[in-house]
Structure 1
């Protein structure tokens, strides 16, 4: 989503179409491409990574066109203002994890990230409940941050004491908070989170519609996010200026990564 947003802004500023190169997705086994859950830009043209190994005509044409582009590679996590002045043809290679790459077209990005199809079933019921109470989203990111030693050294996780502090800030001025908890480890969340109000535990599903969970988060009145791009976007998609977002002051456990531009200045960092 960060990659799309940065590329979309660059394409808009130059008045050219945005291409989505999915070559790397053919080699990426952890997750599958999911931007097709959103409406996206009308002229955004994704290319299926699987097709690259099949020699289809459109793919051969894409390869030919791609060779005409120059790569602009990300050199670090800190915001690079030169990206705002790129001229085509160019291919962005990196993560581009900062709102500063697209803040001046935020309304366009939020429109592009509307759901391509409406919510149904349990999620729709949760959405109605969120809108009927003083809702606060809480996201707990664990998974491979815990199970993979290398990731644990780089990212780390937010502790139960951190969540207690963050939740207390998110609750300020809220008389009857209801907490909607999203996590890839609900067992840990239910055992370790102390929440001063009723909790709704939103179970993660592998149905390929996780973008709907982002929109459930964004519908909440305030947000407690983990050091996770998933909950970052859940909070950012909430366009209401009065919404409170509480985020970790330290995004990476590793000191080698500079995340100073990752959290918007208007968010509360602890």
Structure 2
């Protein structure tokens, strides 16, 4: 890849299938600065009016610590999957700030862009959270949790919870699934214990957990102690760990330091570059 000097990066980076733009995209997504991203269909609709309004907004806020991108739906499918967006929400504008909070406005009009950005800088916007729907039926041995109920399920349930963060395409996660089912079935009679799983590609992972690869497992006690699970990967190993580590009802609340992340199976370089801050959404 050719060297790109920061001064040569356009004020608004274009996300399309033109390979000439890819070096600028890499610079954009590698930056730790807040990012504003406008996604729409370049081929239909009032693209020119959006491009003009967005460029004007980027110029107006040039003194703010924020970078701007305009993306074509067709070229941005990886970004849509990563952020949990849908094509029928476009035109949409999304901001991801330095704390990984996201702010979203769907069906945005070109003349609303500047006002919405001002609300962001004034701290008036509510963060957007990517989450699958909360399951209506959740009666399998390993319980399904999503971003919208993970805190209630894991931290407020009063139970000892072993939670797996997985990716549907991960072969090691698929191998672990029946093992977790077996462990959960073994512990089904223990009302103080739950084994759960979350699709970390379809839900925002809570800040209490550092997920750098798949599968990653954590054990959370009723008092709020968070421990990365790095023991064996047989059902017996998991059951033994839970029995030795669990707290009984009424245990005193303790303050703990989160343990380092445990990626049991997939080295970070093999997992996905999305979780390395590199955000490679194009080939």
TM-score (norm 1): 0.31
- Greater C-alpha radius of gyration: 2
Relative contact order (C-alpha < 8 Å, sep 6+): which is higher?
1
TM-score (norm 2): 0.30
